[in-house]
Amino acid sequence: MIEELRPDPDELLRKIKHEENIKHQGKLKIFFGMCAGVGKTYSMLQAAHAVKLDGKDVIVGYVETHKRKETESLTENLEIIPRKKIEYREAEFEEMDIDAILQRKPEIVLVDELAHTNITGSRHLKRYQDVMEILENGIDVYTTINVQHIESRSITVNEITGISIHEKVPDSIIDLATDIELVDISPDDLLKRLAEGKVYIPEKTVQATRNFFRKGNLHALRELSLRITAEKVDSELINYKHEKKIGEIWKTTEKLLVAVGSGPYSAKLIQWTRRMAYNLGAHWFAVNVETGVQLSENEKSNLNKNIQLAERLGATVINITNTDVVAGILQVAHENNVNQIVIGKSLGSNKFQSLWRKNISNRILSESGNIDVFVIKADKSVNSDKKPKIRVHFITSKLNDFIIAFGVVAILTLICFPVSQYVGYQTIGLIYLLTITILSLFLGRSAVVFTAILNSVALNFFFIPPIFTFHINKIEDLITLAANFVIALVVSILITRIKKYHRVLTINQRHSVILNTLLENLNKATSIKEVVAITRQELQHSFNADAVIYLKEKEGKGLAKRAFGNSEYNLIKDYAVAVWSFNSNEIAGKYTDTLSDSNLQLIPLTTIYGVWGVIGVRFLNNKVPSFDTQRILKTIYAQVALSIEREINNDKRVESAQNN
């Protein structure tokens, strides 16, 4: 099974683009700790001296020693870039001088306190944005950060300590880091350092131990920092396995996977997996396998709801294209080192269907190897008034297909019967086989199987002696008839599979063309208006949709009322939903479970630097977009967000240059 797994084309494309983006970027190393005082800056300076001895060009961009003698001594013999002085409200402040660093262009620069907020008048709002600019210029950065400053953990830290965290960095900074070094000491040792005055001055130490630095808080913060470090190590492990093409599951940490479909029981499986993941403290994935089968509008709606449920409950949602559901599920499991799969047990069974193929549950059980599988019985209370529909692939054709099949066989029989005495019934059998092959390109599988049955009946009754009977005298004629029927079935199955693969490949190719065209056009854009116009053009051309875009206020944290794009969509009700989407950084509006009365689907435009605005999309056919469509739209929205961020920053640079 492992040898048969193939990489997802979309994942390969993503990795190639990622590698191209980071090829010319500097590397980021983070010295990470549970809180102040664990020794992050000290460890960073020690590492700087070590690489300097190896011949590296290292400078200090910004280091805060807090007047600790041991730390200050380590800044000796290191080149220090003078800080930039900025006046604000009749006071003078010091910040890191980015221009001086870029002009000096060292191999490595030390930047302390990554989550720091720069003083008004600086080039960037946050220091991590300064670091990003340095990295983009090919310079490696060593930096420090505490666990409470990671955006996704700041709320948890607030709940634990009761202290609000104002300085934050996006989680993507952790993902960007090529190396994280955990600087860890026990809570008892840290409290001892506090008591000795090695962290804060004595007056501040007493206050700190009564509030943030209580022993219980420190244990909780330490666990958070260990978990984040473990997640980063796990990510590096997965990358290593991919590079070395290792398909086996290494049970180094608990990971769960649940398949998400359009069925009525997916919601229960998602909720069960979430509870289990919470109890284990494990990461979990919700996987949708796109097989190329067309879904009804009701099925699309159910699938979207199930995926939204998984996202709300904290799953990493993955969409993969594979004509075989089981192969797709196991591929995701192996690629992400998942060691536990959750599947559902159907209430009913289809004995006729089981004659020619195993159901998904049985196949996963038999093909999962050393992955643990949990089989959850479906709840009878879920849609108990409606029995689950079992998709039988054997019955997939429309009535017209059967009529066409019958007509073709009847006409072919009428044509061949007068000439059969000249060409022989063996030749007629080959003609029937050729007909089935051609019909397989146009008709559904069941209609092709129906054609094979009709061909066998017609060949036996009209052509194999004695004619006009179903009696066969010769064993070789019986073998010929059986062989024709089996070959017809095999041909129909193979061609049907080829058609499904062709549809899947067509979808992937279409996505690639759309993204390449969009990226090429967005890269040429020189203003926000051009970005909006290009976005609307692509939505109209490829998705029969249109959009309006609201941007973040130029000065402030709210969403501006001015709208770019289709002005007809700029309604008070939709703007209110857009504000909610902006503030919560979540999708809302039509086709969602949040503020669904809106005429638009509102999606926040987010980059690693925050939310830059909201795009409101309206699908002109008023149909629920398929998950496959939503997947590519998410990629488009991400690219639009990056382009808007680029244009806003360009405008700021122009204004700054004009003011200077």
**Start-end of H helices in 368-524:** 399-416, 420-423, 425-440, 445-458, 475-524
Are residues 173 and 46 both part of a single domain? yes
pLDDT in tens, 93-146: 999 999 999 999 999 999 999 999 998 888 888 899 999 999 989 999 999 999
| Residue 518 covered by a domain | no
Give all strands (DSSP E) within 63-194, no chain letters. 79-80, 84-88, 91-95, 108-111, 140-146, 179-182
- Does 261 lie in the same domain as 239? no
CB atoms within 10 A of CB 348: 8
- Do 336 and 369 belong to one domain? yes
Q: What is the pLDDT of residue 451?
A: 81
Whether residues 471 and 585 share a domain: the answer is: no
Please tell me the distance from the alpha carbon of residue 326 to that of residue 76, in angstroms, as a whole number: 60
CATH code for position 295 = 3.40.50.620
Half-sphere exposure of 374 (CA within 13 A, CB side): 18
In our burial notation (b when 16+ CB lie closer than 10 A, e otherwise), range 246-260 reads ebebeeebbbbbbbb
Residue 415 belongs to a domain? yes
Distance CA 489, CA 388 (A): 28
The first and second tokens of residue 565, run together, are 């794009």
DSSP conformation letters of 317-367 = EEEEE-SSHHHHHHHHHHHTT--EEEEEEPSS--HHHHTT---HHHHHHHH
As a whole-number percent, the residues of the chain with pLDDT over 70 amount to 84
Q: b vs e for 21-49, b when ≥16 Cβ sit within 10 Å of the residue's Cβ?
A: eeeebbbbbbbbbbbbbbbbbbbbbebbe
CATH of the domain at 561: 3.30.450.40
User: Are 427 and 478 in the same domain?
Assistant: yes
In a domain? residue 514: no
Q: Examine the domain organization and report whether 146 and 54 are in the same domain.
A: yes
- In what helix (H) or strand (E) does residue 54 lie, and over which residues does it extend? none
Please say whether the beta carbons of 145 and 107 come within 8 A.
Answer: no
Cα–Cα distance between 491 and 439 in angstroms, integer? 10
pLDDT at 374: 86
Q: Could you tell me if residue 386 is inside a domain?
A: no
Tokens 């961020």 found at: 645
pLDDT at 1 over 60: no
Residue 78: predicted pLDDT: 92
d(CA 445, CA 165): 60
Give the position of tokens 């769960």: 256
512 within some domain: no
The Cβ of residue 374 has, within 10 Å, a number of other Cβ atoms equal to 15
On the question of pLDDT at 390 being above 50, the answer is no
User: What is the pLDDT at residue 242?
Assistant: 62
> How many domains are contained in the chain?
4
Which residues of 235-282 form beta strands (DSSP E)? Answer: 255-259
pLDDT for the residue 387: 44
Pick from 270, 277, 279, 255: which is nearest to 338 by CA? 255
pLDDT above 90 (res 630) = no
Give the residue, 545 or 502, on which the prediction is more confident. 545
Lowest-pLDDT range of 137-151, 376-390, 614-628: 376-390
Rounded to an integer, what distance in angstroms lies between the CA atom of residue 206 and that of residue 456?
Answer: 93
488 Cα distance to chain centroid: 41
pTM of the complete model beyond 0.85: no
Indicate which CATH number applies to the domain containing 121. 3.40.50.300
Residue in the block written with tokens 């090919």 = 138
535 vs 551: CA distance, rounded Å = 14
Of the three residues 208, 243, 278, the one that is the final residue of a domain is 243
Whether 516 is in a domain gets the answer: no
Q: Is the pLDDT of residue 17 over 60?
A: no
Residue 90 Ramachandran class (φ > 0 left, ψ -120 to 50 alpha, else beta)? left
Identify the band that residue 591 occupies on the pLDDT scale cut at 50, 70 and 90.
confident
Using the CB atoms, write b or e for 356-373: b if 16+ within 10 Å.
eeebbeebbeeebeebee
Q: How far is CA 35 from the centre of its chain?
A: 31
* 27/151 same-domain check: yes
Which amino acid type is present at position 341?
Answer: I
Q: For residue 110, list its beta bridge partners.
A: 60, 142
Q: Is 168 helix (H, G, I), strand (E, B) or coil?
A: coil
| 100, 80 contact by CB (below 8 A) | no
- Kindly compute the dihedral angle of the four CA atoms of residues 495, 501, 506, 507, in this order, to the nearest 10 degrees: 140
Is residue 517 included in any domain, yes or no?
Answer: no
Is there a contact between 102 and 134 (Cβ–Cβ < 8 Å)?
yes
Bridge-based pairing of strands 140-146 and 108-111 is parallel
Of the listed ranges 111-125, 263-277, 287-301, 339-353, the least confidently predicted one is 339-353
* Boundary (domain end) residue, out of 477, 497, 517: 497
Q: Determine the straight-line distance between the first and last CA of the chain, rounded to whole angstroms.
A: 64
Name the 3-class secondary structure at 422. Answer: helix
Of 328, 347, 377, the position where a domain reaches its end is 377
Domain hosting residue 90, numbered range: 2-11+23-243
Does 198 lie in the same domain as 49?
Answer: yes
User: Looking at residue 149, what DSSP letter applies?
Assistant: G
- The H or E element that residue 23 is part of is helix 9-23
The pLDDT mean for the chain works out to: 80
pLDDT in tens, 195-216: 777 676 555 555 555 567 778 8
Do 358 and 278 lie in a common domain? yes
Residue 370: pLDDT over 90: no
What are the pLDDT digits (tens) for 417-426? 888 888 887 8
Q: What is the sign, positive or negative, of the torsion defined by CA atoms of 39, 41, 43, 49? A: negative
* One domain for residues 537 and 470: no
Residue 657 reports pLDDT greater than 80: no
Q: Is residue 281 domain-shared with residue 238, that is, in the same domain?
A: no
40 and 85 both lie in a single domain:
yes
Pairing of strands 58-62, 140-146: unpaired
How do the residues of the chain divide into helix, strand and coil, expressed in percent and rounded to 5? 55, 15, 30
**What is the mean predicted confidence (pLDDT) over 32-52?**
92
DSSP label at residue 61: E
> Measured between alpha carbons, how far is residue 544 from residues 238, 305, 483, 547, 618 in Å?
39, 22, 49, 11, 9
- Asked whether residue 387 is domain-assigned, the answer is no
CA nearest neighbour of 315 among 358, 259, 368: 259
